[in-house]
Amino acid sequence: MELAMNVVDLTKRLVAFDTVNPPGNEVAAMKFCADLLQSAGFDCDLQVFASATRANLIATRGVGSGAAIGFSGHLDTVPLGAADWKYPPYDGIVANGKLYGRGSSDMKGGVAAFICACLDPFTPPGGIAILLTAGEETGCDGAQMLARGKNLPRIGALVVAESTNNALVLGHKGVIWLSILFTGFTAHAAMPEQGVNAIELASRFIARLGDLKLGDAHEVMGKPTYNVGTIQGGLNTNSVPDSCEITLDLRTIPKAQHVELIDKIIALAGDDATISPLLDLPPVWASPDSGWISKVADVVAANTEHIFSPTSVNYFTDASILTPVLGNPPTVILGPGNPRCAHKTDEWVDIERLYQAEIIMKRLIEIW
């Protein structure tokens, strides 16, 4: 396989794989990346699962004594949506200085940038480690499988190439998704006093949420938040509903204790509710005082227009899972995608950002 892979061409190749999640089907794209990296001297561990349709990839070169510089990205994408696309979503059309296609921004362009940077034969002390995952869009499923495997390489710093327009981002909020099922009992709607209305129980809980103390604000991320995402209940119009389920999204900040927050929700919901966790991902935050962060900031400033200021993003990443299991190395979120067009119809990545990102990733390897 050709080693001198152009970052634009590689992004096109990755976009051409239909990895919409669900169902994902990342295995073909992972095999392609493994073949490319093996041709550049990487040892590749392709971990196939889910009836051979899904896979993670661990690729390393020069690891051993010392800690490697790590790069992480996911290859699944969100669905296309109902709207028509001007540009075919898997063709990687280049127009107006942009490359269009599902996953171009989130985050196949970022993956292409660090893979192209790693095709250079230079290997720093400690080596290079690449972690490619499946299933990030549905709750970091692939990263959780990697974490359970306990065979990850030693990594001293991690770059997650999610969409930041090549700005240096130091973290993101954590997330808790909860299913809260309220149970009443049914009766004829003409005699509602004979039943217990589960929708009313849920409504009273939602009203009480406004008084819930989620914690103090973070100096960069701001306040923790909650959102009631869905509500489903009722049998028919003329019956008292005996069941109502809501889903709740909590976004948390560093030092938040997720167990304590869930306990608060349980107490607030009362005995008529059954609470089931759906997703629990901790926040990620790298200290701006870290020496490695300063080096990354210098590289970004030398190759982009961005002036560093500690900042975070609103979306979550695989770093929620990978950073803790790797021993909490300094982790940055840094990639060429535009966060404003991720998940949208006619998703795109700026061509100039792709070239910038490749240069940045190469330089980070050089100074490791």
Residues that are catalytic: 76, 137
Tokens of 66: 């010392």
What single-letter DSSP state applies at residue 192? G
Q: Are 146 and 45 in contact (CB under 8 A)?
A: no
**Which among 124, 109, 104 has a CA at the least distance from the CA of 63?**
124
Whole-number Å distance between alpha carbons of 44 and 289: 34
Whole-number Å distance between alpha carbons of 237 and 27: 47
Tokens of 31: 């095999």
Q: Other CB atoms closer than 10 Å to residue 278's CB: what's the count?
A: 13
Q: Following CA atoms 94, 97, 99, 105 in sequence, which dihedral angle do they give, to the nearest 10 degrees?
A: 180
Helices (H), the chain: 7-15, 27-38, 109-118, 141-149, 198-209, 258-269, 291-303, 319-325, 351-366
Residues 6+ apart with CB under 8 A from 294: none
Dihedrals phi, psi of 107, to nearest 5 degrees: -140, 40
Q: Are 175 and 279 in contact (CB under 8 A)?
A: yes
